[in-house]
Structure 1
Amino acid sequence: MTSVKKIIEEAVIKSKKLKEAIIRAKWDEIVEGLFFKSSPLYIKEGVLYVTVESSVLLQHMYMNKNNYIKRINIILKGNYITDMIFKVGKIPLEEYFKDNIASEKEKPDEVEAALSPDEYKELQKSVENIENKQIKDRVLSLKVKSLKREKSLRKIGYKYCNECGILHKNSGGLCTICENKHHLKREETLLKLFRENPYTTLEEAEKIIDKLSKEEYDKGKEKKLDKIYKRAEFAIKDRNIEDARLDLIEYFKLETGEREIKRIKEKADNLIKLIIEKLQRR
């Protein structure tokens, strides 16, 4: 028989307001280094709305949102959050802490011992406009912990990302997420060049994309060829042979650099026959 306590616990966890309060209370665990640069607002139909400090951070958090959703649902013990929507705005620190007053106390001498006097004064100054003393103490305590963590990480080789500002330990100047975003942007530019001109050479692409390597160029070319082939195969399945022919003409221009249209069309028609035979064998 299910205990009354368990029934109450299950009912409470399903409360939207309570879930919002739990997320606010655990926000530092969910987003780690972005704790003071973002704030959860409310939940609507399984979507968590979040305010972030800047558009750069918005992009960063958007790319990492699946990790956040996973952490949130583990904390809530159920798949309550299915998506997150971010918007740029002011971070409401006081509102954030109304449901999360600190129960633990930290001795002033322990706080000051970990930071220089100037650092501690700067943190005190950053919370001086918060009227509620409990909230002010909680914000100050968390800011102190955050700065301690940053200093500790920097001592062991972490550095600030040149783009979004979070701490990372990559060898370059960008964190993993910003590095991936940077790579995707370069790849998109290269694919666009191939789309506009399938005869685009490495030398021509280098003029548009800074420090483009042959390996990067070849990978982009391979990806574009794969996309064109799949599109042509889909057109053949759908009996749009002419669309498939146009796609495969583009395919052979890019793959071989061939400029003789008659020979390219012959190759396209031969490949169409092979694809049809392959599909018929399935």
Structure 2
Amino acid sequence: MAEKLSNVSEMIDVAVGKSRRLKEGILKADWEKIVGKICEKCQPDYIKDGILYIKAEGNIFIHHLTLEKTNYINKINSYFKENVIKDIIIKTGKLDENREEYLNHEVKKEKKEENTSILEKEQVNLNILEKIAYLQKIAIEREEYLLSQGFKKCKICGMLFEGEEEFCRVCLDNGNAKKYLKSHEQQNKGEK
């Protein structure tokens, strides 16, 4: 029968103790705290049967990690307050591109602030209706610009496209252009 847990902290400890994937995620998130500056040149890959597999950018980093292996095993096990890792295997490999998501949290915040779009900066205090009106204005300006640059607007779906036809490639391919022309022919006949 399941144990009764008295608080959230206990629940988290039990979940971490049972989940290998959660341990891997925690290791990745706190990798810099565990290994220090070398975290920029290596990363934990996965844990299997008590063995932590690490990717490193080159042999010099493998050498360093191998020399410090016992130290890192002890740090990781004390970090989890249980014997999670009994050995470490280090291999050369390309580091994941998304590893910046869990490293350098302060740098990440700064980069995010730098990359904040003009739209976000201008709309901080706008309510939802003002935001919609602003987006509509931008869309109209974009459409006018593209039309002035030689783009055409599909008579059926309204998509902007480049070409000599009256219809976009999608409407031509799915037969909507033929249907449109046929219905307009019938309307023109009915008017005469």
Report the TM-score, using the length of structure 1 for normalisation: 0.35
Q: Which has the larger radius of gyration?
A: 2
Q: Higher helix share goes to which structure?
A: 1
Higher relative contact order (CA 8 A, sep 6+): 2
Report the TM-score, using the length of structure 2 for normalisation: 0.49
